[in-house]
Amino acid sequence: MSYDRFVDDRLLTSRDVLNKKQIKMKLIDIDESARDFSQRFGNRILVRKVLLTIKQTDTEEIEEKELDVEELEKRVMKERLFSSSNRWISKHEIKNGYIVASKHLDLLASAIALDIIQF
């Protein structure tokens, strides 16, 4: 029996400070034409869309949202004159189609700034 493809759920789930919400992020779409010329960070891909699954731990209520990260970044640049999002993700940070929890805040920064997602 091989455990090399086994991924612990704790690696994919991020939580808020009070542990009232749990978040999982599934990769839906990437930009195939984008090229990363920086070899310093390794082989990376550019994320376009993600499926966000938010679970309320006290009520067990599950909410799903599809976020167009590319569109959010453009909207932030237009409205706020800056972009806080980094849509480049290493291929090693994607496990079974899900993005690891350490990269959730990087991808959700624009949505949080525009009050699309609230914690």
- DSSP letters, 68-81, are EHHHHHHHHHHHHS
> 10 Å Cβ neighbour count for 110?
27
Indicate if the pLDDT at residue 31 is higher than 70.
yes
Structure tokens at 104: 């959730």
Q: For 90-111, write each residue's pLDDT tens digit.
A: 888 999 899 999 999 888 888 8
Of 68 and 5, more confident: 68
What's the pTM?
0.80
What is the per-residue pLDDT for 100?
Answer: 93
Is the per-residue pLDDT at 73 higher than 70?
yes
With a cut of 50, say whether residue 1 has pLDDT above it.
Answer: no
